[in-house]
């Protein structure tokens, strides 16, 4: 096996892991993988709208294609009409709770990786999300570098793995 070598600019993400810092160097992922994300993030005030916009803009700056919806019903419509590589799912969505969106997604046998992004920090909510089929769970507030690191660690879809190693 030999690793793929692609000449692109590097993005540096500093991740705080316990007391140790690791610098992850990775190629501009979207230029290799063409990854598209569905960001399901509700905002109820100017402040939370700014946060949702910052997350969306941060992902776009990291060269991901991002569609942003702000309620559960629109999220389901988007998931039924387009294939995404990852879903970033808030649990507190109006119209339909994020857990319901996740439940319907998994009932449809859709295995798109789901990263729950929520302020619900209690153990029961985390377990409900993970038991419901989410691949990871991140609690707000978070640093964008942590979100990007978690995106990289999401379960390998065929798109991720087929480009990572050449046999």
Query: Each residue of 90-125: b (16+ CB within 10 Å) or e?
Result: bbebeebebbbbbebbeeeebebbbbbbbebeeeeb
Confirm if 21 and 14 have CB atoms less than 8 A apart: yes
Encoded tokens for 50: 């700014």
The model's pLDDT over 8-47, given as tens digits with 9 standing for 90+, comes to 222 333 333 332 333 333 344 434 456 788 888 877 777 7
Question: pTM here?
Answer: 0.73
The model's pLDDT over 68-90, given as tens digits with 9 standing for 90+, comes to 999 999 999 999 999 999 999 99
Can you point out the beta strands (E) in the chain?
2-3, 10-17, 20-27, 36-40, 65-69, 86-89, 114-118, 136-139, 165-166
- Grouping H, G, I as helix, E, B as strand and the rest as coil, residue 117 is strand
The span from the CA of 153 to the CA of 122, in Å, is 23
Encoded tokens for 43: 């905002």
The model's pLDDT over 90-119, given as tens digits with 9 standing for 90+, comes to 999 999 999 999 999 999 999 999 999 999
Whole-number pLDDT of residue 77? 95
DSSP classification of residue 86: E
């Amino acid at each position: 096996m030999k690793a793929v070598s692609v000449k692109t600019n590097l993005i540096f993400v500093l991740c705080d892991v316990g007391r140790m810092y690791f610098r992850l160097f990775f190629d501009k992922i979207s230029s290799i993988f063409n990854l598209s994300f569905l960001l399901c993030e509700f905002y109820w005030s100017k402040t939370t709208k700014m946060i949702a916009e910052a997350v969306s803009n941060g992902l776009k700056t990291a060269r991901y294609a991002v569609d942003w919806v702000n309620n559960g019903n629109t999220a389901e419509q988007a998931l039924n009409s387009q294939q995404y590589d990852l879903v970033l799912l808030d649990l507190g969505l109006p119209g339909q709770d994020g857990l319901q969106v996740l439940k319907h997604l998994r009932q449809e046998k859709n295995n798109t990786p789901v990263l729950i992004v929520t302020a619900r920090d209690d153990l029961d909510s985390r377990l409900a999300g993970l038991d419901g089929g989410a691949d990871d769970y991140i609690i707000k507030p978070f640093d964008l570098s942590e979100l990007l690191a978690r995106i990289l660690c999401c379960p390998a879809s065929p798109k991720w793995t087929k480009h990572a190693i050449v046999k």
